[in-house]
Amino acid sequence: MRLHYCSLTVVLLPFLLASATDFDFFYHVQKWPGSFCDTTGGCCFPGNVKPAADFGIHGLWPNYAACRPAGETNRTRCWPDFCNATNTFAPSLISDLKSDMDRNWGTLSCRSNDSTAFWSHEWSRHGTCSNMDQHAYFLAALRYKARFNLTRILLDSGIVPSEERTYCVGSIRDAIGEATGSAPGIECNRNARNETQLYQVYQCVDLAGTGPIPCPAVPMQGRCTDQVKFPAF
CB of 136 to ligand AMP, least distance (A): 18
The length of the chain in residues reads: 233
Among residues 25, 61, 137, 148, which is the contact residue for ligand AMP, using CB under 6 A?
61
**36 Cβ contact partners less than 8 Å away, ≥ 6 residues apart:** 43, 108, 199
- Does the footprint of ligand AMP cover residue 184 (CB under 6 A)? no
Among residues 56, 59, 106, 161, which is the contact residue for ligand AMP, using CB under 6 A?
59
**Cβ-contact 127, 88 below 8 angstroms:** no
Annotated active-site residue 122? The verdict is yes
Annotated active-site residue 163? The verdict is no
Catalytic pick from 126, 163, 187, 195?
126
**Cβ-contact 76, 67 below 8 angstroms:** yes
Measured from the CB atom, the residue of 167 and 187 that comes closer to ligand AMP is 187
**104 Cβ contact partners less than 8 Å away, ≥ 6 residues apart:** 54, 56, 57, 142, 145, 146
CA-CA distance, 142 to 144, in Å (whole number)?
5
Measured from the CB atom, the residue of 159 and 198 that comes closer to ligand AMP is 198
- Does the footprint of ligand AMP cover residue 27 (CB under 6 A)? yes
3-state percent breakdown (helix, strand, coil) of the chain, nearest 5 = 35, 20, 45
Annotated active-site residue 135? The verdict is no
- Does the footprint of ligand AMP cover residue 200 (CB under 6 A)? no
**10 Cβ contact partners less than 8 Å away, ≥ 6 residues apart:** none
Measured from the CB atom, the residue of 91 and 222 that comes closer to ligand AMP is 222
Measured from the CB atom, the residue of 161 and 185 that comes closer to ligand AMP is 185
Q: Which amino acid is at 8?
A: L
- Does the footprint of ligand AMP cover residue 79 (CB under 6 A)? yes
Interacting residues with ligand AMP between 90 and 149 (CB under 6 A): 122, 125-126
CB of 27 to ligand AMP, least distance (A): 5
CA-CA distance, 222 to 218, in Å (whole number)?
12
CA 13 from centre of chain: 31
Measured from the CB atom, the residue of 45 and 79 that comes closer to ligand AMP is 79
Which residues make up the interface to ligand AMP (CB under 6 A)? 27, 59, 61, 63, 79, 122, 125-126
Residue positions annotated with a catalytic role: 58, 122, 126
